[in-house]
Structure 1
Amino acid sequence: MQLTTIALPLPLLLLLLLFILSLVSAQTPSRGSAQLESVNDDDLLALIRQEKYVVALFTKPDCPTCLNMEKTLIEARDELVDFLGAWVVMAQQSHLMRLYSPNAEPALVFFRHGVPLLYDGPVDEEHITQTFNDNKEPIARELSDDNFEHLTQAATGATTGDWFVMFYSSSCLECQRLGAVWEAVGAATRVRGIVVARADRGGAAAATARRFGVTKDPTFLLFRKGKMYWYDLPKYGIKSLISFSQDWYRNAKSEKVPIPKSPFDDLVAWCVYLIRDVIEFGLGILTEHPWIWQIGVVGFGLVAITSIIAVVKAGKSSSPKPVTKKPSKKTK
């Protein structure tokens, strides 16, 4: 069987080649351009879901510091593409920025398998590439009731080192916004032997949270040499959290790490927390909607008055009536 060849005109071959090259370039990270590729929020979310590494610069117009960071990132882009295969893009006036950074633009975020790390170093090409190369995988460990004591050994002397744990819940929006910040804290403290971790106090680590008396989101606890230190500062900045884990914890409230609770003690603690949460929820509803308790007071008053009137009427109707005897007729 003979194969027949089809001769295509040269212009058509050139068009076909350009089309193939455009498809290939669309599927590979851009490099060599004098500007960063600009994407909208939908495109950025698609990249975060689909690509292994994405470097995103969040900027805004008329921002000199944004332009400086953009220039530096352009200089670092080729190395990020070559060594990481990362997509390096820019998102201007993005609504997603508040999910990853508590500060104003510019914000440089490195996504690893969708997990964000907020860059908090100097505007320097070498420092940026070194930081991202050193933290190619997510840093924060996920702790649960099953593995907490085994991994941390918090109650037995902390032979596995210091652990800095953020207790969170899936319903806590602020906790979600702290994800990139917490990864940045982990990137800075790992060189000091401090392990950064997360624990879902409303889910897999509920019993552990009750063991330590954690009742709010987020809560940060440093476990060090058999003691736990509470981070009570109102701000959750990267530098504040790093400073606390390394030195400032000495000024914070500390407690001896309690041993794990027995099943009965944990059940009692769960009941206490449940009752307290119900009371706090009810008080919160009444504080937010004062008309509810006002209607309740009025309704209770009307019921009380109606009950009193009913009792009084019932008492009157049940009192015995005097019996009058008719005079007997005398017969003559």
Structure 2
Amino acid sequence: KMLDKILAENDHVVVFFYAEGDKKAQKILNELENIDDECEEKDIDFVKTSDDDIDKEYDLPGLPALAFYRHKFRTIYTGDLMKEEEILEWVIDLHESTADVIESVDRKTLQVLINDVEHLAVFFYDDECESCSDILEELENIDDDTDKHGIQFVKSNDVKLAHEIGIFAFPALVYYETGVPIMYDGNIASNQDVFNWILEQKADQSIQLINRDQLFEYIGTKDFLAVVFYKEDDPDSPRVLRHIELIDDEAAEYGIYIVKMHDKLMAKKYGFRNPPGLTYFRKGKYINYDGDIDDEEEVLDWLTSPANMEMTDHIEQVNRKMFEKIRKNSDYVAVIFYSDECKQCPRVLAEVEHIDDEADKAGIDFVKIDDKQMAKEYGVFALPAIVFFKPTSKEPVIYAGDLYEEEQILTWLITQKDPSGDVIEDLEGERLVHLIEESGSIAVYFYADGCEQCTKVLEELENIDDDCDKHGITFVKTRDFSVADGYGVHEYPALVYFEGGIPNVFEGELSEEEEVLQWLITQKTEDRIELITRQMLETMVEETQYLAVYFYKINCNICDQILEGLELIDDECDVFGIHMVKIQDPQLAKRYSIKTFPALVYFRNGNPLLFEGDLQNEQSVLEWLIDDDNRELADEIEEVNERMLDRLMAESTLLVVFFYDDDCAECEEILEELEEIDGEADMFGIDFVKIASIQAAKKYEIVNIPSLVYFRKQVPVLYDGDLHQHDKVITWLTSQDVFEIKNEIEEVNRKMLDKLLE
């Protein structure tokens, strides 16, 4: 704590970090005492510290260590710590030299700067990155300019820290304002583009601060008003407000006006005794936000949710942006286009108000829009007009009947919706489970009685039932909650595709039947990474020898990009017997020490291993997954499939294969014996695997199951001894008569050589 204070208050500080009781450190200290006075003459503070874990706290490469701090920025001494004269020269050179244009910071200093500096730009780079140095040289041309605008510019090559905040590709630029990060996604090689972008972030207008009178005025005059209540003296308030400022412009596109207020009485009046808090007024009626106020995307989704923006029982007036969101969330939408200048419009609007409730009950959202240009885009040139949007058609249908006959309009809308008959077969219990396990391709729609959305979605899905049949996909529906629970389905409706009993959860819009159909066809024709639930994962961890699980979040661009890369190696993973799946479960992720998304966990017989490399490099991911050190399972013979066995035949000089059957009791006993010698065989350079495949046995002309076959450069020898005696098996495997191939000098490892010499 004293050290932090000294670094904060002094411009130039030399710090000696050491461990208490270290004899080498004591000798170094005796030497350093000789230059303490010279440092003081130069107004350089010289201090020492030996706190526990000080190397981790200050991100040091090791102890003892010597560091020079100039205005909190650190340089570590890399010379001989016993040569005090060289150290003194180094300290004075640093003291008198001009600092790097863009200062380099360590992890601790960067974290301090993020918390303390209001405007901070950080350039993240990797020492192995070829383009980083050239780009850094360009950016150093704007360092003085950013200083003039009150923006501190630093650089960091802490790759691990970058990964923790979601940066996997280098170089990268992040702008922090009051601790809130914004990632630059433009041309980082152009220093002018970067400079302009940084200034734009700094100049971004903050939300309006209002008083009590303005609040009451805005509540009465603005349709949508969001008020952020905060404490003026709370150090966390700038960060909270910055998060809200990031969505201010987008909220305005929806007609939502955001303001801020530090009136304690008003905050208390609207339910916030201990701000911060967010209150949303819709035509004077208010609701309070109870989510994470630091998650600006979540706040924006909440503010613009059609359910929250709907204020009355009347037909809702929306703008273009609001309508786009309603279209995404609703299957069927009826729009009445009108204009304030139109004489007929008020009367027609009054008529259709009478059928708003009936349309809503029929699953049709009814809105009104005053936008002539938008009406023209949908082919409407005369107002008023009613237009109907449905998911099965890109183009809307325009009503051509009498606009004064509300019942006729309602009948037309319901006819346009055109619900289909009940054609998807309903299955339950053992019959459904058997079909899932035995069917090659089956789509199961899980739904619940009394669920309006389930009914609406079912009507849409029934339109694609025949198409699924044409593509060889069986489509069924079920209300069997016990089967649903078994696959971790707890929210309805849900759609799960099974191929060979392996599940994959649909994560798109179920109401978009064409999207569903294309997804099902893709699952049938292409090998995709399956989306699974928690229960599915727990079952697969128990039953799958090699399982790679990709944890990710929705609405995460980097997650989607990485997923596309992983899809490219999915087939190759299959060759190595690695099953790759994906899951969206933040709570479960914490169990495996996952703090940031996305992440990859590799289960080997249930034992998890977290990938710590660059997920954007799918080839390095593949190499890590198939690396023998990562795949090796203690005291267990590796299970292979046919493709893996073919690969091993081509690559392994000495390969032992145990052919067995899952339903063979004797095989289990023999396996227990053979696993006693798996490690020893490995020491002799012999690869030992097992396979439960009748097809593979036939391919290699194996007649009896179980059988043990020794392949020496693909030349097979069948073991005809007692498989229950593992000591005799290992003696046979390492016998020169067995592994030797005629007319060829045999390659052996040290262990095999020792045995031969004996």
TM-score range, shorter chain: 0.3 to 0.5
> TM-score, normalised to structure 2's length?
0.22
Between 1 and 2, higher relative CO (CA 8 Å, sep ≥ 6) is seen in 1
More helix by share: 1
> TM-score, normalised to structure 1's length?
0.42
